[in-house]
Chains A and B, each alone.
Chain A
Amino acid sequence: MLIWLGVTLLYPLVSSAALSLENVRIIGSAGRFVGLANYLSVLSSAAFWLALERSVVWVAGNAVAQTVLAMASALILEQAFPGVRVARTWIVLTWIVPTIVIVIVWRWLLSTSGGMINPFLIELGVIRRPMGFFSSSVSAMTTLILINSWRWFPFVAVMLLAGLQRIPGELYEAAAIDGASRFARFRRITLPLLQPTLFVLLVIGTLLSFNVFDIVWLLTGGGPADATTTLPILIYRTAFKGYRLSEAAAMSVIATLLLMGLAILAVRTLAPREEVR
């Protein structure tokens, strides 16, 4: 197992690190050792820091949107109502559909040449004329976050639902008898007892969100005008469009170290220390 992990995990990481110390441009071409030149270039590049900033916005936006959507869904699905079993099964639909299908569906829905969303919003009086959801920096990032959150919130909801179902019902009954309101029960019982689940989701969610490439690339390509160029997009473009493979490898190494550092910091500072009674 260790050998397998070493081969599949360590080898690519070490190869990337070695590549980052050379000046390889096109994949397959030769390069020579240049030491830390790529790292200096990357760390002094405005494009890198802007992409990192956008990645932070992306991660934070997804965390908020997905947590709100997932928590609301999980609280509803925890109730007993007709069809709850069907709902619990089919909520994962957006999660299991391939990304390319999701991209095609959303491009069509948001299109001004026949999509449903614009006429619907005009009918509701929200907008007066069709809008391009990817035509400005703010709307493009917001739309991407909402679409990605729509795609992934079922995964979070399923985890939260499992966490909710572990909370003893007697606690809620006792609180209700003591006169606690619904909100008070949510704040004093649900949230604290969900902490371990929320913590795991925070760490995993951050790592997964940060590395999302497909939906961003397919929907906006990092545009308009780089407004949605997160770090994974920049790395891909640098490697395969800019033909600066070693520089992209340096960015990847920096991103890996950042994420490792974040994960370690999160475990040390935010991990639940003891079972909340």
Chain B
Amino acid sequence: MRGRNVVFASLIALLAASGLAQADQVQIRLWHMEQPPQRVARVQQLIDEFNKSNPGIVVKQEPQNWGEVYAKAPAAIAAGNAPEILFAIPDFTTVIRSLGALTSVKDFTDKLNAEHHFIPATLRPYEYDGGVWAVPLYNMAISLWYRHSVFDKAGLKPPQTWSEWRKDAETLTKAGMYGAGLPANKQLYTDQTVYAMMVNNGAAQLFNDDGSLRFNNPKTVEAFSFYKDMFKYSAPDATNWTWGEAEACFDANKCGTVLQFTVISTYNEQGGDPADLGVAAVPRADTEASSNTISYSNAAMILAKDPAKRQAAERFISFLLEPANYGRFLNMEPGLFLPATEDGAKAPSFWNDPLAVKYKLQIETMIANSQHGMLFGFTTDKVFPSIGAISAQNILAETLQRIVTGGETPAAAVAAGQKEMEQAAK
């Protein structure tokens, strides 16, 4: 009996001691939306290294998914249970900011910029209203993917213009493939591919300077008309494609070209030959001088209000951006996440990854393409909060669906899309 009491008392003392120790430590919860297991594992590896070298801080990750986080994060904030660090894309930041949950991190990004030199296109979408609302971490930009062997066999060259792309797609489709694997589902991927067409026809801006919408204009209508033309070369079930399906079509060698951020991982897993994988800039309209693309600067928002937690969050983000760690962070999905900093773009930790070695040429092209990246709603230094709702409702994709499924003309669909955006902006 006495022995049992001693054991019990020791257990209580141990628990109390660990509780006290935890109370001394600063707890940081990280919400990110990179759910695939290999990404979670890589983030955990970096977290473990950080926690070991910073005994007073404990970082824990809680992976989320993009489909839920637009609702889940505001709910967590309302419940007083927000994470200390929340990854973001630019329009998501406007949603969180509208809840009063963000404080400018300009001082912090200025310090990081001096050290690592952010690529301007990655910082721009977070810099408005006199502040900087998130710290850029990684970039993603859409490119055109194809196989050299398929093009060589058909006697084709990688397209640079819309008319070349249309001709290539037609030739490939006659040869038994889907010449252009383009999606038309009402979701973010379709928004992205639609916008990739729009920016290549001078229709990059959604808003006028006064905040009114300018979606309904001839250049936008032309872009949707072109998408409609190209869509006939896509798979019959592309109206229901999610992100993985265009890539699956390409990997199965059923789609001759796709617009994607990357296909490297899955292509490699399927045993693809690196020398056969081609990547090019998104084709531009025949009247445009150069190609552009859609790019997403992904960033980290600091939601913590407590000074100790903010400082700890800043230390963790700084740790991630250190060149020795940054490449490993980006290569949680080799070939998908591109550097947001100049020193990161040169870091051996980025280029030494086995997949980066294997697909060096492709990744260099992706980085070059990303320099001409834009994002709808973030093309000027004026950012209007309604972009959050416009993006969340996938109105670009909905406009496309009106055309390819609903049978509306591009002009009518774009006019309806403008009305939807105006409704969302109210």
Contacts and interface: CB of A to CB of B under 8 A. Distances in A.
A132 B237 CA distance: 4
Contacts of A131: 236-237
Contacts of A224: 184-186, 239-240, 401, 404-405
Interface in B239-269: 239-240, 245, 248-249, 252, 254-255
Contacts of B240: 107, 132-135, 140, 219-220, 223-224
B393 A237 contact: yes
B238 A242 contact: no
Interface string A84-122: 000000000000000000000001001111100000000
| Most chain A CB neighbours (cut-off 10 Å) among B70, B95, B238, B405 | B405
Contact of B78 (A27, A140, A241, A242): A27
A129 B77 CA distance: 50
A140 B388 CA distance: 29
Interface string B398-415: 100110111000000000
A140 B255 CA distance: 23
A222 B99 contact: no
Interface string A202-223: 0000000000000000011111
Contacts of A129: 236
Given A113-B245, A113-B249, A241-B393, A225 B235 contact: no
Nearest to A220: B240
B99 A28 contact: yes
A33 interface: no
A131 B238 CA distance: 10
A264 to B, nearest CB: 33
B186 A240 contact: no
B184 A243 contact: no
Contacts of A141: none
B75 A227 contact: no
B245 A111 contact: yes
Contact of B74 (A27, A135, A137): A27
Nearest to A135: B239
B58 interface: no
A214 B98 CA distance: 29
Contacts of A225: 186, 398, 401-402, 405-406
A113 B402 contact: no
B121 interface: no
Contacts of A114: 248, 252, 254
Interface residues of A, number: 35
A224 B99 CA distance: 32
Given A29-B99, A224-B186, A112 B392 contact: no
B187 interface: yes
A130 interface: yes
B405 A28 contact: no
A28 B236 contact: no
Interface in A121-153: 129-137, 140
A219 B185 CA distance: 11
Contacts of A243: 95, 388-389, 392
A26 interface: yes
Contacts of A136: 405
Nearest to A240: B71
Contacts of A135: 236-240, 405
A137 B405 CA distance: 8
Contacts of B392: 240-243
B177 to A, nearest CB: 11
B46 interface: no
A19 to B, nearest CB: 13
B389 A110 contact: no
A113 B71 contact: no
A28 B186 contact: no
A130 B252 CA distance: 16
Contacts of A132: 235-240
A134 B245 CA distance: 14
Contacts of A226: 398, 401
B347 interface: no
A143 B392 CA distance: 27
A112 B99 contact: no
Contacts of B236: 112, 129-132, 135
Given A223-B239, A224-B405, A225-B401, A28 B78 contact: yes
Nearest to B190: A223
B405 A227 contact: yes
Contacts of B389: 241-243
A116 B70 CA distance: 35
B187 A221 contact: yes
B102 interface: no
A133 B235 CA distance: 11
A137 B401 CA distance: 11
Contact of A112 (B70, B237, B398): B237
Contacts of B388: 243
11 contacts: A29-B74, A29-B78, A29-B98, A113-B254, A130-B236, A132-B239, A133-B240, A222-B186, A223-B405, A226-B398, A243-B392
Interface of A: 26-29, 107, 110-114, 129-137, 140, 219-227, 237, 239-243
Interface of B: 70-71, 74-75, 77-79, 95, 98-99, 184-187, 235-240, 245, 248-249, 252, 254-255, 388-389, 392-394, 398, 401-402, 404-406, 424
Given A28-B75, A223-B185, A241-B394, 5 more contacts: A27-B78, A29-B74, A131-B236, A221-B186, A224-B184
